[in-house]
Amino acid sequence: MSRTVSVDNSCKNIEDKYRVLLDINNAIISDLNLEDLLLKLAAKLKEIFFYDISTITVYDPEKNKLIMTAFGKLIGANALAPGTELTLNGSHAGWVFKNKKPLIVNDLSKKKRFKFDKTLYKEGVRSYVVVPLTAMDSTIGTLHLGSMSPGTFKNVDKEFLLLISKQIALAINNANSLKEIEDLKEKIEGENVYLQEEIKLEHNFEEIVGKSSKLRSVFKQIELVAKTDSTVLIRGETGTGKELIARAIHNLSKRKDRPLIKVNCPAIPSGLIESELFGHEKGAFTTALTEKIGKFELADCGTIFLDELGDLPLDAQAKLLRVIQEREFERVGGNKSIKVDVRIIAATNRSLEEAVSEGKFRSDLFFRLNVFPINIPPLRERKEDILLLAKYFIQKYMNKLGKNLKSVSGSTLKVLADYRWPGNIRELENIIERAVILSTNEKLNIPKNLIGINISPAENYQKLDDIERNHIIQILNETFWKINGEKGAANILGINPNTLRSRMEKLGIKKTDINK
């Protein structure tokens, strides 16, 4: 049968119409894969309409354009290839989308109403019909049938074609909703896996312990910057508690109910850094058997903590710079831009200024990160915090190891206070843990070989309660026995005023202890 004006596209057989409609509905119910479903729908449409080319467009609100999507087998007409973008002005699809009405052109050789008509004509299209794809009163795109012969759609049953287009629109909507649900499920599962791993990794300490002036200065900086979304660069030696500072900033911010995602940059193999940070599409590389959500996507609406980012290679630094500037990226192997709302906190134990001068770190990235630097003092510059930390860790490992230590050697306290702690808080915690393990009675003593310092054999043990009592009295003396308020002893000690009064009563602290 020749494809000419005499072709009957009216679809008068009512049985054929409803059989195809039923088949389309069954296909929508049974096939959730959009690509396979559209191929099936196109084949069904072919049973009752004569056409050479079929395609659909889907509206992209970010681009404000209609994007061509595969619908059946495309023969010729490269202008209708999947991925082709059509503007709302100057295209037949744009007119149908905006006016929500069908458009039939029976002879392109006589009149080319739209700029895009010229392109179609060059590729052999002589007639076409376009109908809107409408689902739940919302137009999401257009359905196109094209012919290499003029007059093919002169008698087309527009009402039935509109009915089918509504089913196709519903199928696209359902598939997109399912994809959104699957993406959300994958993201939630990714967050859960990450959080479960975080739970397994016991944090170095539950709260920041200390009262030194340098640490108080850090506290003030945390309070100032936590309320903003500004990028923070935490600088300090290894073991000074940079992660704890990052957690404090996150927990005091408006993002505290969203995840804090930690990335240990040196621990990621160089070939997997992009995949770890930005995720990858299935098949992006040999071992990419499934789609993976990256750390930046997991941190959306929350905070990402880039620990020791000074070790990132230069190519990864360039991609990180783009995310900081534009808040968007593509997964490895993907071409879709993913936008994220992420607060960035970075940490380093290196001199990034030196790394920049050596060509190992990008200067533009450094300036983007160094918006609000916080310098964490090493433990040797916080001597007044050493015994507080020691007491904290003693209590922690007594509870963890089921031990009941009632006193600490005075010589041990002196050694702890005098040692320079090159490994900072982490080293102090490790030594206390080992000392608690090695303790065979109710007295804590640190063996000579534990930190390589000679300890006096003289035993001058001090009870833990005495250590706490003396510390509270010291703070009360410094605050002139003021308990409440910002400059009160309770605030400095980081406890509730009523809790402090209770401890004072239990430890027998009275104002007569002034200056003791």
Sign, Cα dihedral of 118, 168, 333, 195: positive
CB-CB contact of 317 with 329 (8 Å): no
Do 355 and 218 belong to one domain?
Answer: yes
pLDDT score recorded for residue 151: 86
pLDDT score recorded for residue 296: 93
pLDDT class for 458, splitting at 50, 70, 90? very low
Provide mean pLDDT across the span 162-181: 77
360 or 1: which carries more pLDDT confidence? 360
Question: Mean pLDDT highest for which of 3-7, 388-392, 485-489?
Answer: 388-392
Dihedral in degrees, nearest 10, Cα atoms 367, 369, 372, 378: -110
Query: Alpha-carbon distance 300 to 329, whole Å?
Result: 12
- Is the pLDDT reported for residue 303 higher than 90? yes
286 or 110: which carries more pLDDT confidence? 110
Do 219 and 368 belong to one domain?
Answer: yes
pLDDT score recorded for residue 207: 64
Do 121 and 169 belong to one domain?
Answer: yes
CATH number (domain holding residue 61)? 3.30.450.40
pLDDT score recorded for residue 462: 57
31 or 194: which carries more pLDDT confidence? 31
pLDDT class for 262, splitting at 50, 70, 90? very high
Do 290 and 217 belong to one domain?
Answer: yes
178 or 96: which carries more pLDDT confidence? 96
- Is the pLDDT reported for residue 416 higher than 90? no
Kindly list the distances between the CA atom of residue 34 and the CA atoms of 173, 179, 287, 366, in Å, as whole numbers in the listed order.
Answer: 10, 10, 25, 44
Q: Is residue 457 part of a domain?
A: no
pLDDT score recorded for residue 121: 87
CATH number (domain holding residue 230)? 3.40.50.300
Residue with tokens 């209590």: 395
Q: Is residue 515 part of a domain?
A: no
Q: Is residue 235 part of a domain?
A: yes
Q: Is residue 186 part of a domain?
A: no
- Is the pLDDT reported for residue 410 higher than 90? no
- Is the pLDDT reported for residue 209 higher than 80? yes
Structure tokens that stand for 136 in this block: 């739940």
Do 102 and 235 belong to one domain?
Answer: no
Give the domain range for residue 320.
203-375
Domains: count for the chain: 4
Q: How many CB atoms lie within 10 A of CB 286?
A: 6
Provide mean pLDDT across the span 68-91: 73
Do 362 and 387 belong to one domain?
Answer: no
Query: Alpha-carbon distance 148 to 54, whole Å?
Result: 12
Q: Cα 509 vs. chain centroid, distance in angstroms? A: 50
Q: Is residue 193 part of a domain?
A: no
46 or 425: which carries more pLDDT confidence? 425
Q: Is residue 187 part of a domain?
A: no
Do 241 and 127 belong to one domain?
Answer: no
Kindly list the distances between the CA atom of residue 433 and the CA atoms of 22, 203, 242, 460, in Å, as whole numbers in the listed order.
Answer: 72, 14, 21, 21
Q: Is residue 192 part of a domain?
A: no
Per-residue pLDDT tens digits for 95-123: 999 999 999 988 888 878 888 888 888 88
Query: Alpha-carbon distance 492 to 219, whole Å?
Result: 11
pLDDT score recorded for residue 155: 75
Domain end call among 375, 402, 427: 375
Do 251 and 289 belong to one domain?
Answer: yes
CB-CB contact of 54 with 77 (8 Å): no
Do 365 and 432 belong to one domain?
Answer: no
Judged by DSSP in three states, 461 sits in strand
pLDDT class for 515, splitting at 50, 70, 90? low
- Is the pLDDT reported for residue 201 higher than 50? no
Contacts of 451 (CB under 8 A, 6+ apart): 415, 419, 431
Q: Is residue 513 part of a domain?
A: no
pLDDT score recorded for residue 96: 92
Do 127 and 236 belong to one domain?
Answer: no
Q: What is the mean pLDDT of the chain?
A: 81
Do 97 and 30 belong to one domain?
Answer: yes
Judged by DSSP in three states, 441 sits in coil
Do 233 and 367 belong to one domain?
Answer: yes
Question: Mean pLDDT highest for which of 24-38, 366-380, 411-425, 457-471?
Answer: 366-380
pLDDT score recorded for residue 342: 95
pLDDT score recorded for residue 206: 43
Query: Alpha-carbon distance 179 to 167, whole Å?
Result: 18
Query: Alpha-carbon distance 277 to 257, whole Å?
Result: 22
CATH number (domain holding residue 446)? 1.10.8.60
pLDDT score recorded for residue 250: 92
Q: What is the pTM of this model?
A: 0.54
